[in-house]
Amino acid sequence: MDLTRTPAWTALKTERKAWNALHLRDLFKKDKQRFERFSLALDDEFLLDYSKNLIRPQTLRLLLKLAKESALVPLRDAMFAGERINLTEGRAVLHTALRNRSERPVEVDGRDVMPDVREMLARMRAFADRVRTGKWKGYSGKPITDVVNIGIGGSDLGPAMACLALKPYGGNLRAHFVSNVDPSHLYDTLEDLDPATTLFIVASKTFTTQETLLNAQAARAWLLSNLPSPPGTSPKGAGRDEVAVPSEARDGPKVHRRAGDEGATHPVAKHFVAVSTNEAAVRAFGIDPANMFGFWDWVGGRYSLWSAIGLPIALYIGMDAFEEMLEGAFDLDEHFRTAPLEANMPVLLGLLGLWYNNFWDSQAYAVLPYEQRLARFPAYLQQLDMESSGKGVQRDGKPVKASTGPIVFGEPGSNGQHAFYQLIHQGAKLIPCDFLAGRESHNDVNGQHAVLLSNFLAQTEALMRGKTAVEAEAELVRAGMARRELKALLPHKVFPGNRPSNSILYRKLTPRTLGRLIALYEHKVFVQAALWNINAYDQWGVELGKQLAQVLLPELTGAPAKVGSHDASTEGLIARLRAA
């Protein structure tokens, strides 16, 4: 359905023009109940304040009318029902099943997937408990102290973000993440680690992802070259000299038991596990298939941290806390599934995103957590939103009729205030902002959390109110500035205000809170995609670069490319790189 041809879309164009004469400062002055009118609480722990947006009651009514004229509700229900809404790949979209905490079955093609989900959670729990309690020993007989997750994209961003966010819940294990094929990433990570106490998780559904496999092979070579001998064995035949076999480092060892060392396995099997569905490739690498954790084709990469991809999270914070995170996501799933559209947090956020993107020509939005441990949350949302919404064709293959795919960026407050907030406050671009903050801190020292929150509140108020020329002049006069200097400086001291923001306030950053935050944005992205009539669950745009890289690699390392097979720029760069 083309929403740009609906009566609601036309009416929203007229409503947008009306805002040329409106200012949020005046609307707040006239309506003392504006906060109550435009805020929504899930419970005492989780609040969305959207009152500082460029909306009035009639704006919201038109946006909701647009939602009702779209396929949003049928698509939402189809997703939860396990229908194959990812139509370009013929797959269901059921990350919600991974955190389904009810007894309600979830079926794909008539088969309930919940028994499989619960079985995998039980396997994750058993493994996490063994590692965290020290029962799982490395090849040298020492317990694990460090876990290195090797993945990329959704196999890296989600777990890395969550482990940082939930650091107060971490135990004795340290979590590390390697994703970039740049060898410096792996080198810097391994530099201070002990191979005898390091466990690697190789996360790749197909076990063919180039960046992940190259890093995993390099990590395996590092392990085999540096692992000390097991206790009670001679240096030769059982220790460093034997395990550092070049062919094994290159091609992958077979899992086997050692003669005279009952119960021991090859070192790779004691220090590597896999999150994958390709058992043959996992086995060939040297990982015991018993330590392979799978997931399903209805789990998209950027929605996968709830699955076995979340194994590093479970190892770091424990399975009880991991399941608490699932429960938080389930809270938002139930809210999104059952709440009326006008009282539905993801729906409201999605409608506001469309309002700015399509009627205000806003091409970006900022996510600004006033919580240092959410430092990686904006990067996580970049993939979630930009890979999902960055589509130029509708679900039926026809070109989209409206702008999609906003640019997402952000940094923790108050760091961002001393970086890019200048553009948001006084720049010529409209950049809506989401501010996130916790009422309580895990680490309040010297009253600094109150200072942080005062900045959180001040920024949203400043963006909304601005500062008029009259106010700026009075301020400069009070400061004793001479009239001539005042006149020159005054234009630079004016803030236009009328800059929109949402405030998401939670009690404390707990596993349940984090689950709610992630699910909130997942469903916001879904809402926007449904309104734009695009498929949020494929990512064909990442394929072309991969294909070309496969062609270019041998041309960088082997015989020269055939002249004219690339454009002049690419050929010139190849020549310069080969000359180096």
Give 262-320 pLDDT, tens digit per residue.
Answer: 334 689 999 999 999 999 999 999 999 999 999 999 999 999 999 999 999 999 999 99
Confidence tier at 562 by pLDDT (50, 70, 90): low
Residue the block writes with tokens 């391994």: 190
> Where are the CATH 1.10.1390 domain residues in the chain?
543-579
Query: What proportion of the chain, given as a percentage, has pLDDT over 90?
Result: 84
Q: Which two tokens stand for residue 513?
A: 């809170």
Name the residues annotated as catalytic.
387, 418, 546
Position with higher pLDDT, 260 vs 118: 118
pLDDT for the residue numbered 253: 38
> Where are the CATH 3.40.50.10490 domain residues in the chain?
3-69+339-465+499-532, 111-317
- Domain 3-69+339-465+499-532 is in which class? alpha beta
As a three-state string, the secondary structure of 452-521 is: HHHHHHHHHHHHHHCECHHHHHHHHHHCCCCHHHHHHHHHHHCECCCCCEEEEEECCCCHHHHHHHHHHH
**Which tens digits make up the pLDDT trace of 164-223?**
999 999 999 999 999 999 999 999 999 999 999 999 999 999 999 999 999 999 999 999
Instruction: Please state the rounded mean pLDDT for residues 441-451.
Output: 95
How many Cα atoms sit within 13 Å of 460 on the Cβ side?
24
DSSP assigned state of 255: P
Confidence tier at 578 by pLDDT (50, 70, 90): confident
Q: Quick check: helix, strand or coil at residue 435?
A: strand
pTM for the whole thing? 0.93
**Which tens digits make up the pLDDT trace of 477-488?**
999 999 999 999
- Domain 543-579 is in which class? mainly alpha
pLDDT for the residue numbered 1: 73
Chain centroid offset of residue 408 CA: 11
pLDDT for the residue numbered 239: 34
How many C-beta atoms surround the C-beta of residue 279 within 10 A? 14
Average pLDDT, the chain: 92
- Look at the domain 111-317 and name its fold: Rossmann fold (3.40.50)
Q: Which two tokens stand for residue 433?
A: 């902002």
Instruction: Please state the rounded mean pLDDT for residues 529-557.
Output: 89
